[in-house]
Structures are given as C-alpha cells and as structure tokens.
C-alpha cells in the first residue's frame, strides 16, 4: 500500500484525521497559518475574509468599478465581448497569494475554492440565459509540462460543475509558445499574443452561433482574453464573455 493510500485511509476516520492533523498539520497555502480543525480547504477563512473584492458601483458590461464615472475599462474590449466579470483585485498578499498558489506553487485544488467564488458573480440576464459552455485559456505545451497542469482548465472544470454547463477544453488551441505577459507593456502584450490562438477546425460545428465564456485566472489588459475571443469568433462563436478570479488594478483604481 502506498503512502498516499495509507494517509487517505487514516483520514477517513475521526481519530485518524486527528492523528494526521497532529503529525502532518495543514496550513493555509497563502498565509501559512495552521488551519483550524473545521477548515477543510486549502485557504484559511481569514484569508478569504480579507480578499480584496472589486468595489461597487461596477460597470454592467465589464464589471469594473466605475467610482461614479464613465467606465474606461470597457474600451479594452471589442464589440463581440458581451460581459466580463472578476471576483477580486489581483493585488496585495491575499489577492495575489491565492492566484500564485494555483498558478506557480503547484496547488491545483485551490481552483475549486476560487471557482466557488466565481460562481457567485452576478451577470446580465441574457448571459445567464445564453451561456452554453466554458472555454479555458490554453497553455503552450512547454508551459503546461513545466507547471504540470493548466490553471485555467482547473478553474473551468470546477466552475462548470457549479454552472451545470460543459467545459470545452479542446475547441481552442495555442499555436505558438508566447512570452509570459507579466512584465510586458500593454502594447507588447498585444503583439505577444497576436495570432497565438486558433479554434480547432473540428470545433466549428460545435461553436457555430454559441455564446461561450472564456475562463482565466487573472485579467490585466485583456490582451490574452481578446485574442482567444477573436479566435473563437473566427471559429463560429456568435458572442463571448469573460470570467476570471482576479483583475489587475488599472491606473486610477482604488484597491
């Protein structure tokens, strides 16, 4: 019997779980505080309570805080983007910490907790009526080998269970490896992902006339999401929406 099987068997009983908590104490993947006995997730309740949620009022289309002014974030989105939503600012030790745990620290199980919060986002009524599938942003084969999984696909799979719609992981492909967007300027981001995605020819019949929702962990300038949306529309999708866990603050945002 493997070590993993022994641990799973021990955790199945209350006494075994208590012993495991003593020998192998669980801690929050964000703040590294020991988890309380009643906490069963990867992120502690204190960190979730301190998550920097996007404040209201927000734009009805893109979900960005407007601070009582005209929305400027919508200018980043092409006309075939119906709506965009994010849970929190991807900033500070909690917002970035949760994303980094999923994306860089090898904790794919965090996606379930993130998706539970993405599930609670409010949407325009037509998006709720029309959305037929989720599409994760694909990674290059090189980066997926390095990471061991696609964090967007993990989020999409978990969110699909909440929304009771499929996650289409095979309709969109990344046709070339791209440099990480993290340190690039907005203009460089656009050039970096231009032409990097393509709808699979086999998916055209599936995509035709649909309203699909692209899933990613974080949106900054929407360059990657827009490139994915353009590829899906070229492949037959009628309209596209975006959902991410985090959103990078834009110039002038208060977080």
* In-domain check, residue 255: no
| Comparison of pLDDT for 19 and 238, the residue scoring more | 238
- Most distant CA pair in the chain, distance: 62
pLDDT at 3 over 50: no
34 and 2 assigned to the same domain? yes
Query: Tell me, what CATH number does 192's domain have?
Result: 3.40.50
pLDDT at position 187 is 56
Contact 133, 158 (CB under 8 A): no
Span of 47-56, 66-75, 148-157, 173-182 with lowest mean pLDDT: 173-182
pLDDT at position 237 is 98
Contact 179, 99 (CB under 8 A): no
95 and 201 assigned to the same domain? yes
d(CA 207, CA 149): 25
* In-domain check, residue 22: yes
pLDDT at position 88 is 98
Residue 123: both structure tokens together: 């949407």
Task: Find the length of the chain.
Answer: 255
d(CA 202, CA 248): 34
* In-domain check, residue 124: yes
**Confidence band of 16 (pLDDT split at 50, 70, 90):** very low
7 and 127 assigned to the same domain? no
28 and 61 assigned to the same domain? no
Q: State the alpha helices, DSSP H only, in the chain.
A: 3-11, 14-23, 45-49, 92-103, 110-118, 125-130, 141-147, 151-163, 186-193, 204-207, 223-234
Q: State the alpha helices, DSSP H only, in 26-91.
A: 45-49
pLDDT at 200 over 60: yes
Domain that holds residue 22: 1-50
The whole-chain average pLDDT of the chain stands at: 88
153 and 34 assigned to the same domain? no
* In-domain check, residue 62: yes
**Confidence band of 143 (pLDDT split at 50, 70, 90):** confident
* In-domain check, residue 252: no
35 and 134 assigned to the same domain? no
123 and 18 assigned to the same domain? no
96 and 208 assigned to the same domain? yes
Bridge partners (DSSP) listed for residue 85: 243
Residue 181: both structure tokens together: 């967007």
Helix (H, G, I), strand (E, B) or coil at 24: coil
* In-domain check, residue 24: yes
**Confidence band of 184 (pLDDT split at 50, 70, 90):** low
43 and 58 assigned to the same domain? no
pLDDT tens digits for 212-255?
Answer: 999 999 999 999 999 999 999 999 999 999 999 999 998 778 76
* In-domain check, residue 99: yes
* In-domain check, residue 253: no
63 and 45 assigned to the same domain? no
| Number of domains the chain is built from | 2
**Confidence band of 126 (pLDDT split at 50, 70, 90):** very high
45 and 164 assigned to the same domain? no
Phi, psi of 25 (to 5 degrees): -60, 140
Question: Which residues lie closer than 8 Å to 164 by C-beta, 6 or more apart?
Answer: none
Q: Is 197 left (phi over 0), alpha (psi -120 to 50) or beta?
A: beta
14 and 85 assigned to the same domain? no
d(CA 199, CA 236): 9
Percent of residues, the chain, with pLDDT higher than 70: 82
Question: Which residues lie closer than 8 Å to 177 by C-beta, 6 or more apart?
Answer: 140, 141, 142, 143
| Comparison of pLDDT for 7 and 87, the residue scoring more | 87
């Amino acid at each position: 019997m493997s070590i993993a099987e022994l641990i799973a068997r021990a955790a199945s009983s209350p006494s075994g779980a208590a012993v495991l908590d003593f020998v192998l104490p669980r801690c929050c993947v964000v703040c590294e505080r020991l988890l309380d006995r009643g906490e069963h997730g990867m992120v502690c309740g204190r960190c979730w309570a301190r998550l920097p949620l996007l404040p209201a009022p927000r734009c009805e289309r893109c979900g960005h805080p407007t601070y009582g002014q005209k929305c400027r974030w919508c200018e980043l989105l092409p006309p075939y983007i119906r709506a965009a939503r994010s849970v929190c600012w991807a900033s500070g030790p909690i917002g970035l910490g949760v994303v980094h745990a999923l994306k860089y620290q090898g904790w794919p199980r965090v996606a379930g907790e993130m998706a539970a919060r993405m599930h609670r986002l409010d949407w325009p009524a037509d998006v709720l009526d029309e959305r037929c599938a989720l599409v994760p942003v694909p990674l290059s084969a090189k980066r997926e080998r390095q990471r061991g999984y696609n964090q967007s696909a993990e989020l999409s799979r978990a969110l699909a269970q909440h929304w009771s719609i499929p996650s289409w992981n095979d309709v969109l492909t990344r046709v070339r490896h791209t440099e990480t967007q993290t340190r690039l300027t907005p203009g460089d981001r656009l050039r970096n992902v231009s032409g990097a995605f393509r709808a699979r020819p086999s998916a055209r019949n599936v995509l035709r006339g649909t309203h699909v929702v692209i899933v990613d962990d974080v949106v900054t300038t929407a360059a990657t999401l827009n490139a994915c949306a353009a590829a899906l529309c070229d492949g037959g999708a009628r309209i596209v929406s975006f959902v991410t866990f985090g959103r990078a603050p834009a110039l002038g945002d208060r977080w």
